Amino acid sequence: MKPAPFDYVRPETLAQACELLADEDARAIAGGQTLVPMLAMRLARPNRLVDILRLPGLSGIRVDGDAIAIGATTRQAHALHDPLVAASVPLLARALPWVGHPPTRNRGTVGGSIANADPSAEIPLVAATLGAEIVLTTTDGEASMPADEFFIGPMLTSIMPGQCVSAVRFPVWTGERIGIGFHEINARKSDFAFVAAAAQVALDEDGRCRRLALGIGGVGDRPTAVDVSQLIGTELETKAITEAVTAATADLDAMNDLHASADYRRRVAIALGTRALSDAAAEARGEAARSALQ
């Protein structure tokens, strides 16, 4: 399997990169861990690759107002071991070990995973769950777009020619008693998720839910935050969680493929969504999560 021919350019600045990316047949490449397989299988055939990996200022993790901004070319392995991510966006830290393998995380970037928008990818799932903002840079400046507008289909995003994903802003939840949960089913650890569920919960002093988020990946054509807001104000009992997740996932469009049927995906989405929320609630209460039980 060899890619079709293309030109390769490595611009010096992000502005130059955006100019080059204005050409519809050009594609940005950073870590290449998703794009190169697509090139090898000729599912992608750009005329030109614009290498943004070494652009100054595009890599790094910093506090940005009420969010943590992760530069597009920040390596997944770097984010996985970053203390700021662990402390402020623990859901991302929990999901990152599920992203590929150590050798692909050494090359793969956070922005690349977002821009490629694989429906089963974990970083887009966390972005959708938490309502992250995708920062898009053009030659005119930068603008940001909420994750649920950015992801529009399998490997499809709202990104336009001339735009480059330059960072992802993950919102930081403030206050005490915050818990997270993450579950995934796949054929082998680190392989593509058939179904993944990510949850984050915040409790008030009386142990009632004051804020929560649940996202489901791998089921439909994009990662999706589902509406379980009916649980706000409750004590997050397992029965109520199961009912809310069942209702919230009922109208998810599930994919049917060789690995898993649509029915299986829907059923597992309910189970994993319930587990992820229950784990998050237990963690927020200070109890040991039942993750280990699987």
Partner 1 sequence: MKVELRVNGQTRTADVEPRKTLLDTLREDLRLTGAHVGCEHGVCGACTVLLDGEAARSCLIFAVQADGYDITTIEGLAPSPGELSVLQDAFCETHGLQCGYCTPGMILSAHTLLQRTLTPSREDILEAISGNICRCTGYGQIVEAVEVAAERLRQSNAPRAAQEAAK
CB closer to partner 1, 30 vs 276: 30
- Residue of 8, 251, 258, 288 interacting with partner 1 (CB under 8 A): 8
Phi then psi for residue 232, to 5 deg, are -65, 135
Counting residues that bind partner 1 (by CB under 8 A) gives: 30
Cα 157-162-168 angle, rounded to 5 deg: 50
Tell me if 33 contacts partner 1 by CB under 8 A: yes
Tell me if 46 contacts partner 1 by CB under 8 A: no
Query: Which of 171, 203, 200 has the alpha carbon at shortest distance from 277?
Result: 200
Residue type at 182 in one-letter notation:
F
Tell me if 180 contacts partner 1 by CB under 8 A: no
Tell me if 103 contacts partner 1 by CB under 8 A: yes
Q: Strands 26-29, 48-51: parallel, antiparallel or unpaired by DSSP?
A: parallel
Tell me if 294 contacts partner 1 by CB under 8 A: no
Tell me if 187 contacts partner 1 by CB under 8 A: no
Distance (Å, whole) CA 289 – CA 156: 35
- Residue of 12, 13, 25, 40 interacting with partner 1 (CB under 8 A): 40
CB closer to partner 1, 101 vs 259: 101
Binding mask 197-236 for partner 1 (x = CB under 8 A): ----------------------------------------
Both tokens assigned to 234: 């409750």
Q: Which of residues 12-31 bind partner 1 (CB under 8 A)?
A: 29
Query: In whole angstroms, how far apart are CA 230 and each of 7, 175, 235?
Result: 52, 21, 11
- Residue of 17, 28, 32, 50 interacting with partner 1 (CB under 8 A): 32
Tell me if 284 contacts partner 1 by CB under 8 A: no
CA 264 to chain centre: 22
Cα 155-35-77 angle, rounded to 5 deg: 100
Instruction: With H, G, I as helix, E, B as strand and everything else as coil, classify residue 196.
Output: strand
What are the residues binding partner 1 (CB under 8 A)?
1-8, 29, 32-33, 36-37, 39-41, 49, 51, 53, 77, 100-104, 106-107, 188-190
